[in-house]
Amino acid sequence: MKLRIPIIASAILLTGILSGFQKNQLPRFLKGNMHTHSFWSDGNTYPEEVARWYRDHGYQFLAITDHNLLQKGIRYRVSGKDSVRLKELSELRTEFDKTGEFMLLQSEEITDGAEKKPVHLNGFNLGTVVNPVRAATVKETLDTDVINIREALAGTPNPEWISVNHPNFGWGLTANDLAQCGARFFEVFNGHPSVRNYGDSAHPGTETMWDEANKWRVDRNEDMLLGTATDDAHQYDKYSVGNANPGRGWVMVRAEALTPEALYQSMMKGDFYATTGVELIDFSKHKNTLTIKIKAVKGVQYKTEFIGWVHGQDHPDILATVEGPKAVYKASGNELFVRARITSDKSKANAYVNGDFEMAWIQPVTLR
Ligand SMILES: [Zn+2]
Ligand SMILES: [Zn+2]
C-alpha cells in the first residue's frame, strides 16, 4: 500500500506535465491561403498541383476558390487531343488532408458584377454552390451575394465565413460598400497584379477603405470588418512580378485545432493576422494595451505603426510608430479602434509589385 501512493502521485504529476506540455504546444498559428484557382476555372494547373504547392510550402490549410463552382462532379481539362478528368475536392482530400497537418476547404469565389464592375466574394467550407445574382447595382449585387452565401452556410459551424475580395479590382467597391454589406472579412492584401491594393491618386487604398468601413460599423455598434492577405494565384509555372503566383499573402490563425470550426472561431474573434512575410511570436490585448512580439529575422528591421480612428476625427491616423521586435500601444481612451501594421526592411521576393517589403497586419480592436 505504501508504494502505491507515490505511483499514483507520480501518475498525477506526469498527467499534469503532459497536459501542461500540450497546452504549451497549442494554440499555435496555422498558416493558410484562402484564395486560389485551378484548372476547374481559370488557374493554369491541376488542382492536385495547387494543393501540393501549398502543402509543400508549409501551409496548414488551403481554400481552393474557383469561379462560380465547387470542385464537384465531372469536368475535363481539354488540351489539344488530350482530355483529363479533373479530381474532385473529395479525391484531393483523400490525397492531401492529414489530421493536424494539412486541410483543404471546399470553397468558391462567387464571381459577380454590376454596372460593368466586378463584385467577387469567397464563401468558405461551402456545401452547395452559390450562383452570382448580377443585380442592377453594385450595392444590391454585393449585399445579395452576402445574403446568399450566408444562406448556403446556414446550419454549418461557420455561418459567416464570407470574404469580400480585392475591392479595388476594376475600382469595383467603395468603403461604404464594404461597411454596409455585412461580410465579416475582406482582402486588405491580394497578390494578383491587377487588384490595386494601394489605390491611386483618385482612389483610396484598401487600408484606408478598411478604416473608413470600420468607422461606419463602430458608430453603429456592428462587428468590425477584418482583413486577410491572400494569393489569388492563377499561375503556377512562370514566377515573376506581373504574374498571379502563389506565396504572396496569407493568414496566420491562432486556432486550437486544424478544423474548419476552430479556424472559423478564431478568425471571427480577430485572433489571426494577415502577412506577406513578417511573422509574429504573439499579439495580445489586455485592457487598454496592445502588445506585439515579432518573430525577428536576424538583420531585418521592423517598424510597427498603430493606426486608429480617434473620436471626433474625420480620418484615421497613425497614432504611434515603434521600431524593433516588440511594440506596445497604450490607448488614451479616445480611440474608436486601433489596428497595427508592421513593415520590415526585407524586400518581398516575387512581390505583388516591385518595391514591396514584407509586412503584416493585425486586426482592429477596441481598447477600453
Ligand atoms: Zn476575383
Ligand atoms: Zn480569384
Give the cell for residue 353: 509589385
Only one residue has cell 463584385, namely 119
Specify the domain boundaries for CATH 3.20.20.140 within the chain.
26-275
Note the helical H segments in 154-192: 175-180
Q: Relative to the alpha carbon of 172, which ligand is closest?
A: 1
How much distance in Å is there from the Cα of 344 to the middle of ligand 1? 28
Strands 28-33 and 61-64: parallel
In angstroms, the CA 357 to CA 351 distance is: 8
**Which of helix, strand or coil describes residue 148?**
helix
Q: Relative to the alpha carbon of 165, which ligand is closest?
A: 1
Q: For residues 250 and 31, is the Cβ–Cβ distance under 8 A?
A: yes
How much distance in Å is there from the Cα of 31 to the middle of ligand 1? 21
7: phi then psi, degrees, rounded to nearest 5: -65, -45
How much distance in Å is there from the Cα of 144 to the middle of ligand 2? 19
Amino acid 18: pLDDT? 46
Amino acid 368: pLDDT? 76
Amino acid 48: pLDDT? 98
Amino acid 16: pLDDT? 45
Amino acid 60: pLDDT? 97
Q: Relative to the alpha carbon of 41, which ligand is closest?
A: 2
- Which of the 8 DSSP states describes residue 159? T
Q: Relative to the alpha carbon of 40, which ligand is closest?
A: 2
Going from the C-alpha of 2 to that of each of 8, 13, 111, 178, 338, the distances in angstroms are: 11, 18, 72, 69, 60
For residue 125, list its beta bridge partners: none
Amino acid 4: pLDDT? 53
| CATH of segment(s) 26-275 | 3.20.20.140
How much distance in Å is there from the Cα of 77 to the middle of ligand 2? 19
Q: Relative to the alpha carbon of 33, which ligand is closest?
A: 2
DSSP per-residue codes, 93-114:
HHHH-BTTTBEEEE-EEEEEEE
Only one residue has cell 450595392, namely 139
How much distance in Å is there from the Cα of 142 to the middle of ligand 1? 13
Q: Relative to the alpha carbon of 65, which ligand is closest?
A: 2
8: phi then psi, degrees, rounded to nearest 5: -60, -45
How much distance in Å is there from the Cα of 192 to the middle of ligand 1? 9
**Which of helix, strand or coil describes residue 253?**
strand
C-alpha torsion sign, points 204, 205, 206, 207: negative
How much distance in Å is there from the Cα of 311 to the middle of ligand 2? 36
Give the residues of the chain that fall short of pLDDT 70: 1-27
Amino acid 28: pLDDT? 84
**Which of helix, strand or coil describes residue 21?**
helix
Q: Relative to the alpha carbon of 119, which ligand is closest?
A: 1
How much distance in Å is there from the Cα of 194 to the middle of ligand 1? 10
How much distance in Å is there from the Cα of 109 to the middle of ligand 1? 7
For residue 230, list its beta bridge partners: 190
How much distance in Å is there from the Cα of 269 to the middle of ligand 1? 25
Give the cell for residue 189: 492584401
Domain 278-368 has CATH 2.30.110.10: no
How would you class 177 by CB atoms within 10 Å of its CB: exposed for 0-12, middle for 13-18, buried for 19 or more?
buried
How would you class 252 by CB atoms within 10 Å of its CB: exposed for 0-12, middle for 13-18, buried for 19 or more?
buried
Amino acid 367: pLDDT? 86
Q: Relative to the alpha carbon of 191, which ligand is closest?
A: 2
pTM of the model as a whole: 0.92
Amino acid 25: pLDDT? 56
Give the cell for residue 37: 484557382
